[in-house]
Structure 1
Amino acid sequence: MDTTISAYQRHKFIYNGLTDEAIYSAQLEGASTSRRVARQLLEQNREPRDLSERMIVNNYLAMENLQDLLGVKATPDFIKELHRTVTEGTLDIESDVGKIQSDQGDRVKVFGDSEQIIYVPPPARELSARMEALCDFINEPEPWMHPLLKAMVVHFMVGYDHYFADGNGRTARSLFYWMLLKAGFPAARFLVVSALLKEAPAQYARAFLNVEYDGGDLTYFLIYQLKILRRAVAQLEEYLADDRRQAAALKEGLKDRVELNNRQIDILLESRGEPERLWTAQMVADRFRVSRPSGYSDLNSLENMGLLRRGREGRRVVWRVVSGWEDWLQSVPKNGADG
């Protein structure tokens, strides 16, 4: 999949994948910010206003940094630092950030619907040794295990052991993506697993509990995760096909009217139905991995064509799509036509 799309599409899909995974992973852990507001938060690179937004920004930073950590070996310090990244500024007790639980009296427990305790993780005194064992499992090539299954086992173990007071799920999913990228699955950057987990969080929890109830048989969790991954791939393939269709239809509609590059086409496509969506030169640069002057040129050209209007928001120069731009395009005569 990674080799069948253009470099331009790859940058776009990586950005979308990282952004949506960061949002849904935070929502799965209790963040209440809507996807639309969360996308604006990340796209505009503004400071988080509350705990939910901080969780989303942290997740995005963690996901974005994974590509630079592929040469790193798994160590307890590495996992603790990953936890620090996803939880900084989000925990009730700030000293719990990046710290393995040590007080058994405050040990995390899993409760059912009627507040009964249905699962107690291993004792806190065992956690350091268990994390060391997990790192050995990640680093050792023998006995061989398919890297996808190995990443799923690690995902499970972080949730099962519950090394931290909070943020175990976010840490587990970040490790899962890191292991897939490290094993040579670059298209993992396009997938949004947490969106599917969020649709049925009870099934996610039940996959853990079934393993516990059946003497540690991981088959339940592996099958569940494989089903989720299959759906994530199917959704991605559908999104890729739909993206190509929309871009082709817009290009055909613009044929012989105006000349737009791929970035400008996506700016228009992503602004459909959102007249208040704003763009800045820096947003275009970040989204499409180009320079800021190139981002400015894209927006300025769209403004000159009458497709965007310029304004200000605070100190920033911003552009918004002109209402009715699609109807306007249809009324513009093709080059060489009468009138």
Structure 2
Amino acid sequence: PLTLEQVRAIEEGREIPATAQRARREVANYFAGLRFVEKNVKRNIITHAEVLKLHRIMAGDVMDQGKAGEYRDIRVKLGQYIAPRPEDVKPMMSDLLEWWNEQAGKISPMLSSAIVHHQFEIIHSFADGNGRVGRMLSLWELYRRGFDNHHIFSIDEFYWEDRPRYYAALENVRAEEGDLTSWLEYSAEGLRVTLEKVWSRIQKLTARGGKAKLVLRPKQEQLLHLLREHKALTPREIWDALGVSKQGALDLLRPLIKAGLVRRIGTKKSGRYVLK
């Protein structure tokens, strides 16, 4: 697995020599899928076309079998579970999309997102990449229901770190003859843990006097950590530490200054940046 710093490096287009090409592609695809969801967050009706496009984005060049952006035409078995026949995939997806578009809004987004996730995994619509797409569809439901207006969290990290329980929770639904209770409880736990981590990060990165709302980029998070650790940094120290150009450092600093998180002290020649 890639480290968080490697993931961020790939997101920002930096080279990671030791990273396998497939791993790099999977990370790049994930962020592309996330951008697709954010772009379509206000879409009221989600159709087959959007699901297929999301899969094409997230599974492009990383599939072991099948074609990206096309429902599977082969039988799939996962452990003891045999997924529905290929000819049943599209009708079952139509039923899921109909429920999602017409009924999901009547219940809590915490529940509806978990149901969309589970039902998609049961259908197992694609030959490969179903887990990634299913988790992204779940996040899409949370986002489009206004659960996270600034799109600053994703529950994938919880599932990734808790893979044995994640797969066991999905399997338990089958063992319990379709009873979703344990899955909904597990999903709610994941959402709680994820949001607690986000809140902790926000608390650590909050400086007094912050007025404007700002969604931090990874480099800006790193910069705030550096300022908290070193108290004050010159412009050169910032761009050297972050591995960016002088202009790149200024582009990172401007929103932080505008938001009241950072300020400049000293003269024009000997100025430094500090947390406000």
TM-score relative to the length of structure 1: 0.63
Q: Which of 225, 233, 237 is residue 195 of structure 2 equivalent to?
A: 233
Single out whichever of 131-140 and 228-237 deviates more from structure 2.
Answer: 228-237
1:138-287 to structure 2, matched below 5 A, reads 138-141=100-103, 144-187=106-149, 189-244=151-206, 247-248=207-208, 268-271=223-226, 277-280=242-245, 281-282=247-248, 285=251
2:137 alignment partner AA: L
Q: Which of 96, 111, 120 is residue 67 of structure 2 equivalent to?
A: 96
Deviations 1:109-132 (A, max 9, x none): 22xxxxxx3222222221111011
Give the paired residue count. 247
1:25-174 to structure 2, matched below 5 A, reads 32-44=1-13, 50-72=21-43, 73-93=45-65, 96-104=67-75, 107=76, 109-110=77-78, 117-141=79-103, 144-174=106-136
**Alpha-carbon offset, residue 243 of structure 1:** 1.3
Structure 2 gaps of 5+ residues are 211-215, 231-237, 256-262
**Alpha-carbon offset, residue 173 of structure 1:** 1.5
Q: Is the 8 A contact 1:154 1:176 kept in 2?
A: yes
| C-alpha spacing 1:265/1:62, structure 2 compared with 1 (3 Å) | closer
**Alpha-carbon offset, residue 144 of structure 1:** 2.4
**Alpha-carbon offset, residue 306 of structure 1:** 7.2
**Alpha-carbon offset, residue 33 of structure 1:** 2.6
| Counterpart-to-counterpart distance in 1, 2:224 and 2:89 | 49
Q: Is the 8 A contact 2:7 2:27 kept in 1?
A: yes
1:34 alignment partner AA: T
Single out whichever of 142-151 and 95-104 deviates more from structure 2.
Answer: 142-151
**Alpha-carbon offset, residue 289 of structure 1:** 9.1
Q: Is the 8 A contact 1:177 1:188 kept in 2?
A: no
Q: Is the 8 A contact 1:70 1:178 kept in 2?
A: yes
Deviations 1:127-165 (A, max 9, x none): 111011111011114882222211110011111211111
2:22 alignment partner AA: L
| Counterpart-to-counterpart distance in 1, 2:179 and 2:169 | 11
Instruction: Indicate the structure (1 or 2) with the bigger Cα radius of gyration.
Output: 1
| Counterpart-to-counterpart distance in 2, 1:87 and 1:41 | 17
**Alpha-carbon offset, residue 231 of structure 1:** 1.0
| Counterpart-to-counterpart distance in 2, 1:45 and 1:126 | 43
**Alpha-carbon offset, residue 240 of structure 1:** 1.4
Deviations 1:205-252 (A, max 9, x none): 0111110011100111100000111111111121111112xx45xx9x
Deviations 1:28-61 (A, max 9, x none): xxxx332212211212466996110111111111
The SS at the match of 1:166 is coil
Structure 1 gaps of 5+ residues are 1-31, 111-116, 252-261, 291-297, 309-325, 327-339
The SS at the match of 1:184 is coil
| Counterpart-to-counterpart distance in 1, 2:135 and 2:267 | 39
| Aligned-residue identity in percent | 22
Deviations 1:186-213 (A, max 9, x none): 3472223111112220100011111001
